[in-house]
Amino acid sequence: MPPNAGRKCDSPVPVPAGHAPQATPDHSTDRPRLPAPDDGAANPLGDSLRPLPATAVPPVPPPPPDATQEEKDRHWLRYVYQGDRIPQLTVRAVLMGGILGMFMSISNLYTILKLGFSFGVAIASCVLSYVIWNAIRSLSRNRLSPMSILENNCMQSTATAAGASTGHTLGLAFGALMLLTGAHTPWYYVTPFVFFTAALGVFVAVPMKRQFINVEQLTFPSGMATAETLRSLHAHGKEAVRKAIALIASLILAAFVGFFKFEQGTITLVDKIFQATFHITDLVKFTGWLNPLAGRSLTLKGLGFEPSVLMIGAGSFMGLRVTLSMLASSILLYDVVIPHSIGHNWPVFVAGHEDPVPGSSIAAGALILPLKWSLWTGTSVMLFSSLVSFTLQWRTLARSFNVFRKPNGNSDEATIAAIEVPFRWVILGVVPTGIGLIVVNALAFQMAWWLGAIAVAMSFVVALVAGRATGETDFTPTGALGKVTQLIYAVLAQGDRVVNLMSAGSTSASGAAAADLLTDLKSGYLLGANPRKQFIAQFLGIFFGTLAIVPAWYLMVPDLNALQAFPLPSTEIWRAVAVALTRGLDTIPVTARYAVVIGALVGIALPLLGTLFPKAAPYLPSAMGLGLAWVVPFQTSLSFALGAVLAWLWKRIHHPTADIFAYPIAAGFIAGESIVLALLAMAATGTKLTWGT
DSSP calls for 244-290: HHHHHHHHHHHHHHHHHTSPTTS-HHHHHHHHHS----S-EE--GGG
Asked if 449 and 493 count as a contact pair (C-beta separation under 8 A), the reply is no
Question: For the whole prediction, is pTM greater than 0.85?
Answer: no
pLDDT at position 133? 86
Of 526, 536, 532, nearest in space to 81 by CA? 526
* φ, ψ at 368 (rounded to 5°): -85, 140
Residues of the chain with pLDDT under 50: 1-57, 403-404
Q: How far apart are CA 302 and CA 665, in angstroms?
A: 27
Please give the sequence-ordered ranges of beta strands (E in DSSP) within 333-458, or none if there are none: 367-368
Bridge partners, 285 (sequence order): 304
Q: How far apart are CA 328 and CA 314, in angstroms?
A: 18
Q: How far apart are CA 20 and CA 3, in angstroms?
A: 10
Q: How far apart are CA 57 and CA 30, in angstroms?
A: 8
Asked if 121 and 160 count as a contact pair (C-beta separation under 8 A), the reply is yes
Q: How far apart are CA 302 and CA 369, in angstroms?
A: 9
Cβ of 436: how many Cβ atoms within 10 Å?
18
Radius of gyration of the chain (CA): 25
Burial of 364 (0-12, 13-18, 19+ CB in 10 A): exposed
* φ, ψ at 68 (rounded to 5°): -75, 170
pLDDT at position 43? 37
pLDDT at position 689? 60
What is the distance of C-alpha 102 from the center of its chain? Answer: 18
* φ, ψ at 518 (rounded to 5°): -65, -40
pLDDT at position 13? 32
The amino acid at 406: K
Q: How far apart are CA 10 and CA 46, in angstroms?
A: 5
Q: Which whole-number Å values give the CA distances from 125 to 39, 97, 177, 667, in the listed order? A: 23, 7, 31, 14
Mind giving me the DSSP string for 607-661? HHHHHH-TTTGGGSPPHHHHHHTTTS-HHHHHHHHHHHHHHHHHHHH-HHHHHHH
Contacts of 445 (CB under 8 A, 6+ apart): 498, 499, 502
* Strand 367-368 versus strand 299-300 pairing type: parallel
* φ, ψ at 69 (rounded to 5°): -65, -35
Helix (H) or strand (E) holding 300: strand 299-300
The amino acid at 311: M
Q: How far apart are CA 87 and CA 529, in angstroms?
A: 10
Q: Which whole-number Å values give the CA distances from 539 to 160, 322, 547, in the listed order? A: 10, 31, 13
Q: How far apart are CA 449 and CA 445, in angstroms?
A: 11
pLDDT at position 18? 34
pLDDT at position 688? 66
Within 116-213, where are the H helices?
A: 122-139, 149-164, 167-168, 175-181, 187-209
What is the distance of C-alpha 493 from the center of its chain? Answer: 30
Asked if 417 and 405 count as a contact pair (C-beta separation under 8 A), the reply is yes
CB crowding 151-163: b at 16 or more within 10 Å, else e: bbbbbbbbbbbbb
Asked if 132 and 96 count as a contact pair (C-beta separation under 8 A), the reply is yes
pLDDT at position 643? 94
Helix (H) or strand (E) holding 304: strand 304-305
